[in-house]
Amino acid sequence: MNATNQKILQEAERIFSQKGFLQTSIHEIAQACRLGVASLYHYYANKEDILFAILERNLKKQLEELNEHLSGITNPISRLEKYIWFQFYFCQKSPGHSILVLLELRHRSGLEKIPAYQYMKEMVNQLVPILREGQKQGLFDKKIDTITFRNMIWGTLEAFTRNWLIFKRPESIVDFAPIVTERIMQGIRNSQNNPKERKRAPKNGGNPL
- Tens digit of each residue's pLDDT (9 = 90 or more) over 70-126: 999 999 999 999 999 999 999 999 999 999 999 888 777 778 889 999 999 999 999
Looking at the fold, whether 63 and 162 belong to one and the same domain comes out as yes
Looking at the fold, whether 64 and 123 belong to one and the same domain comes out as yes
The pLDDT score that the predictor gives to residue 111 is: 80
pTM value is: 0.87
- Tens digit of each residue's pLDDT (9 = 90 or more) over 141-178: 999 999 999 999 999 999 999 999 998 888 999 999 99
Looking at the fold, whether 7 and 85 belong to one and the same domain comes out as no
Helix 95-103 × helix 146-167 angle, to 10°: 120
Please give the Cα distance from 8 to 28 (Å, whole number): 11
Looking at the fold, whether 67 and 17 belong to one and the same domain comes out as no
C-alpha angle with apex 170: 181 to 90, nearest 5 degrees?
Answer: 60
Q: Is the pLDDT of residue 29 over 50?
A: yes
Q: Are 30 and 39 in contact (CB under 8 A)?
A: yes
The separation between CA 22 and the C-alpha centre of its own chain, rounded to angstroms, equals: 22
Say how many domains are in the chain.
2
Looking at the fold, whether 21 and 85 belong to one and the same domain comes out as no
- Tens digit of each residue's pLDDT (9 = 90 or more) over 44-83: 999 999 999 999 999 999 999 999 999 999 999 999 999 9
| Residue 199: band (very low, low, confident or very high) from pLDDT cuts 50, 70, 90 | very low
Looking at the fold, whether 21 and 36 belong to one and the same domain comes out as yes
Looking at the fold, whether 12 and 66 belong to one and the same domain comes out as no
Q: Is the dihedral of CA 39, 42, 46, 52 positive or negative?
A: negative
Q: Is the pLDDT of residue 207 over 60?
A: no
Looking at the fold, whether 77 and 33 belong to one and the same domain comes out as no
Domain contains 96: yes
Looking at the fold, whether 33 and 53 belong to one and the same domain comes out as no
The pLDDT score that the predictor gives to residue 112 is: 81
Please give the Cα distance from 148 to 189 (Å, whole number): 15
Looking at the fold, whether 122 and 177 belong to one and the same domain comes out as yes
Domain contains 153: yes
Looking at the fold, whether 36 and 70 belong to one and the same domain comes out as no
Of 77, 74, 20, nearest in space to 47 by CA? 20
The pLDDT score that the predictor gives to residue 42 is: 95
Looking at the fold, whether 36 and 69 belong to one and the same domain comes out as no
Of 19, 89, 10, 101, nearest in space to 55 by CA? 101
The pLDDT score that the predictor gives to residue 169 is: 84
The pLDDT score that the predictor gives to residue 193 is: 60
Q: Is the pLDDT of residue 24 over 70?
A: yes
| Residue 1: band (very low, low, confident or very high) from pLDDT cuts 50, 70, 90 | confident
Q: What CATH number corresponds to the domain at position 128?
A: 1.10.357.10
Q: What CATH number corresponds to the domain at position 26?
A: 1.10.10.60
Q: Is the pLDDT of residue 203 over 90?
A: no
Please give the Cα distance from 2 to 11 (Å, whole number): 14
DSSP count for the chain of H helices, then E strands: 11, 0
Structural domain range at position 69: 48-200
Please give the Cα distance from 171 to 94 (Å, whole number): 14
Domain contains 207: no
Domain contains 208: no
Give Cβ neighbours of residue 80 (< 8 Å, ≥ 6 apart): 127, 130, 131, 134, 181, 184, 185
Domain contains 191: yes
